[in-house]
Amino acid sequence: MALLAQRARELGGRALAMTFDPHPWELLRPSGAPPSLMTLEHRIELLKRYGADEVLVCRTTHELLKLSASDFFQQIIIETLDASGLIEGPNFFFGREREGNITLLKQLCEKAGLSLDIVPPILVADQLVSSSVIRSLLGAGQMKEAVDLLGHPYQISGVVGTGMQRGRTIGFPTANLTQCPNLIPAHGVYSGRIRLDRSYPAAIHIGPNPTFGEQESKIEVHILDFTGDLYGQMLSVDLQARIRGVTKFADKEALLTQLHRDCQEARAHFANPSIHQG
pLDDT value for 99: 96
pLDDT value for 176: 95
pLDDT value for 275: 61
Instruction: Tell me how far apart the alpha carbons of residues 176 and 180 are, in angstroms, rounded to a whole number.
Output: 11
Tell me the β-bridge partners of 270.
none
Q: Which CATH number does the domain 154-271 belong to among 3.40.50.620, 3.40.50.1820, 3.40.50.10140, 2.40.30.30?
A: 2.40.30.30
- Segments making up each domain of the chain, as ranges: 2-121, 154-271
| pLDDT tens digit sequence for 103-127 | 999 999 999 999 999 999 999 988 8
Average pLDDT, integer, range 81-109? 96
Is the pLDDT at 191 greater than 90? The verdict is yes
**Number of neighbours of residue 14 by Cβ within 10 angstroms:** 12
In the structure, what pLDDT confidence band is assigned to residue 171 with cuts at 50, 70 and 90? confident
The answer to whether 27 and 63 have CB atoms below 8 angstroms apart is no
| pLDDT tens digit sequence for 20-72 | 999 898 999 988 888 999 999 999 999 999 999 999 999 999 999 999 999 99
Average pLDDT, integer, range 194-222? 95
Is the pLDDT at 277 greater than 70? The verdict is no
DSSP strand pairing (115-118 vs 85-88)? parallel
The answer to whether 240 and 191 have CB atoms below 8 angstroms apart is yes
Average pLDDT, integer, range 2-6? 94
| pLDDT tens digit sequence for 227-276 | 999 999 999 999 999 999 999 999 999 999 999 999 999 999 999 877 65
Instruction: Tell me how far apart the alpha carbons of residues 102 and 4 are, in angstroms, rounded to a whole number.
Output: 17
| Domain 2-121 in this protein, CATH class | alpha beta
pTM, full prediction? 0.91
Q: What is the mean pLDDT of the chain?
A: 94
Is the pLDDT at 154 greater than 60? The verdict is yes
| pLDDT tens digit sequence for 193-207 | 999 999 999 999 999
Residue 235 backbone class (left: φ over 0; alpha: ψ -120 to 50; beta: rest): beta
Provide, rounded to the nearest whole percent, the portion of the chain with pLDDT above 70.
Answer: 99
Is the pLDDT at 278 greater than 60? The verdict is no
